[in-house]
Amino acid sequence: MALVSSAELITQAQREHYAIGAFNIENMEMAQAVIAAGTELRSPLLFQTTPGTLKYADPRMFYAIVKTLADEAPIPVALHLDHGDSFARSCEAIRAGYTSIMIDGSKLPFEENIALTKRVVEVASSSNIPVEGELGTIGGKEDSHEVKDKDALYTNVDQAEEFVDRTGCSFLAVAIGTAHGFYKGTPKLDFVRIEQIAKRVSVPLVLHGGSGIPDEDVQHAIRLGMSKVNFATELRWYFTQACRKVLTDGEIFDPKKYGSAGRDAVRDFVKQKIVVCGSGGKA
């Protein structure tokens, strides 16, 4: 199948009350792992890369990898810019062939966040590319940006409605107590807030910081209206742990040896999360 717009996948998930897993990839092996998991479970899915990853390698490279995998796979997939940090970066990803964009203006004042998001929506919509906006601040570390817990502001319900109306964004990432990176202690999700936002906002909601949230909490959040769930930290962790284990043998120097171990570990993790999201068999 070809790469598709994420809107098709996420809107169907919203209608049928499951979620699309969005998996951050850093290299070819992680991309192969994600497609293998999705193919095995017949699940639609999203690949995504952060700006940090795109500084490591050009978006055209990730596009080429994901497009090659998508063309040969029996499942629909989309390629998404995660936490787009500027108008220019969003345009760069669109030019490279990305089929889904997030612009993260959540660190800006409300009006400036609206203005930036709206500008990206205007450009992306001319190519039929959906845009995810973010309101409120998700804690922890995403890329190089660190949000201290005390600064982490939950999404305001009234503002969420106004934000979606005025920006025309296709999906909304909300801050409801999740964080990026690994959690210290068990995270407390604000389920009441998810429900309130979902009642007021018609677009699908996005749960960030999916790594380390207990599976039952993720599923509860999905039942309340989350239609896209992001997983990043754990993919990196499983990949590296598996490589490290192989590399304890000092004789091994072939990247294919440890790369394939990392790939298998990520595939198994992604399969588990597809089951949690309930998207298996939906492709």
Residues in contact with Zn ion by the rule CB under 5 A: 208
In angstroms, rounded to a whole number, what is the distance separating the alpha carbons of residues 105 and 119? 11
- Compare residues 89 and 208 and give the one whose CB is closer to Zn ion: 208
By C-beta, is 208 or 263 nearer to Zn ion? 208
Three-state secondary structure call for residue 73: coil
- Residue 81 CB, shortest distance to Zn ion, in Å, is 12
Q: How far apart are CA 74 and CA 44, in angstroms?
A: 9
Q: How far is the CB of 100 from Zn ion (least distance, A)?
A: 14
Comparing every residue's Cβ against Zn ion, the nearest one is 208
Beta strands in the chain (DSSP E): 20-24, 45-49, 77-84, 100-103, 131-135, 139-142, 145-147, 171-174, 179-180, 205-207, 226-231
**DSSP state, 1?**
-
* Amino acid occupying residue 265: A
Asked whether the beta carbons of 94 and 102 are under 8 A apart, the reply is no
Min. distance of Cβ 143 from Zn ion in angstroms? 9
CB of 258 to Zn ion, least distance (A): 28
Closer CB to Zn ion, residue 39 or residue 227? 227
Q: Which is nearer to Zn ion, 208 or 273 (by Cβ)?
A: 208
Catalytic residue flag (residue 82): yes
Q: How far apart are the first and last CA of the chain?
A: 11
Of 71, 82, 85, 151, the active-site residue reads 82
* 84: β partners: 103
Active site (catalytic) residues? 82
